Amino acid sequence: MSTQTEQALLDSIPTGLFIGGQWIDGETGGTFDVQDPATGAVIRTIADATPADGIRALDAAVAAQDGWAATAPRVRSEILRRAFDLVQEHKEDLALLMTLEMGKPLAEARGEVGYGGEFLRWFSEEAVRISGRYGINPEGTGHMVVSQRPVGPSFFVTPWNFPFAMATRKIAPALAAGCTVVIKPPALTPLTTMYFTKLLEEAGLPAGVVNVVQTSKSSALSAPIIADPRLRKLSFTGSTEVGRKLIAQAAQGVLRVSMELGGNAPFVVFDDADLDKAVEGALAAKFRNIGQACTAANRFIVHKDVAGEFAKRVTERVNGMKIGRGTEDGVAIGPLIDADAVAKAGELVDDAVGRGATLLAGGKALEGTGTFYEPTVLTDVVAGSAILREEIFGPVLAIATFETEEEAVRLANDTEYGLVSYVFTENLQRGQRMIDGLETGMMGLNVGVVSNAAAPFGGVKQSGVGREGGFEGIHEYLSTKYTLIPVS
C-alpha cells in the first residue's frame, strides 16, 4: 500500500463535527490528533467536541425525530440499502482506514467491513417488517391494538476495537426503527465513523438524523447528553466499569439502555474434541483483532489428557505468526492500540509465570516504534492468576486444565461475566449439556467465531443488557403501545 494512497484517503475525511447535516467546527475550535499505533505517527487532526457541541447535536436529532419517525418504512429501508451498497463500493477504503487508525491486519479489516455492512442490509429488511397485533380481549368487551413506535432520540458511545461494525450495529437498527442518533465515536479510532457518515449522506439520509461528535473528553461530553430529558435511549459498547457509570446516569432519566460490556470467555476443550478443529477455533477466537475483542477467548480450559498436544499444536502455529504493520503482506499480528495495552498484557503474563505458568511462546513487548506485543502461549496456568480473572485484550493464550465435565462447567462459569463461551466436543449430548449449563449470552459449539448480523449479540451477568443484531436488535429501538377499542 503506497504512502500516497494512504494520504489521499486520510485527506478525504472531514475534520469537523457532523451536526444537522453539516460538517462544522467545534464551539471552541479545539482539536485532537489521531495516531497510527503501528508507527506512533499522527495521521489526522480533527475537531474536538465540547459538551455544548454535544447538546447542539442532540438539538439536531430532536428536531429531526418526528420527521424521521413519520418517514415511510420503505424509504428508511431504501436509504439503509443504499448505504450498504456504498459500503461495498468503498470497502477497500474503509478497510485501509481501520488498519491505519486501529492497527488490525488489512485482511481482518476487510472482514470487518463485510460483517459491519451486513447490519445495514439486515436492518434495511427489518425496517419494513415492524408490526403489531390486533384481537379481541378475553372478556369480549373490546379490541386490543398493539403497535410499535420509535423510542426516540438515541445516544451511542462506540469502542475503538471495531470502529466500523460497532457503528453500523447501533446506527442501522435505530434508523430502521425511526430513531434519530447522536454518536460519539472513540477518540482513538474516530475516522472510520466519520468516513461512514459521508456514505450515509450520499445514501440520502436527511439532515439531523445522524450526528457525529468526536471528542477527547468522553465523559464530559456524554454526561449532559444523557441528563437531557429529550434523550430516550443510550447504547454503549465498552468496559463493564464504564458501563455501570453510564447505567447510573441513565437511571436518572429512566432511559432505555443497551449495554454490551466486558467479557471473560471460556474456551473449553474436552478429551473427545477434534483437535484440528479446536486449534483452528482457538486461533480465531484468541488472535482475531490481535486479541482485542470482547468476544476473544480469555481462558482456555483444556482436558488434562489433551492439554499437552493442544498446547503443542497451538504453539507451532503461533510461532509462525508474522508481526508488523497491518498494511504489510502476511501480517497476522498488528500493534495493540496503545502503550497501556502493551503494559497490561505484560503484567498479566508476568503474574501468571510468577505463579508457576510455563511460557511456551512470546511473552514480551517488541522494541522500537509502535505498540507491539508478541503473540504468547502460556500453559499450566494456576487458579488465582490475574489472567484468569481479567479481560486480557491482547494476543495472549492462557491454558488451564480440568479433569471432569462438572469441573469444566464450574471453571467456565466462575466469572462475573457471561458474554460468550466456546466449547469443543464431538459428543452431541455433552454439547447440549453445555448449551444448558454455561452462563453465557452466546456460545460457539465447535467454532471459534459466532458473530453474525442475523443473530442476537449480547451477554448475561455483568457482560451487559440488551441485544444487537437479529430480529431482537430492532426492538431495542421500539416502544410497545397498547390501545383498547370498546365493542360497540
- The set of catalytic residues is 260
The grid coordinates listed for 308 are 499437552
Residue of 256, 130, 234, 223 lying closest to 181 (CA atoms): 234
> What distance in Å separates the CA atoms of residue 101 and residue 35, rounded to the nearest whole number?
6
> What distance in Å separates the CA atoms of residue 61 and residue 208, rounded to the nearest whole number?
5
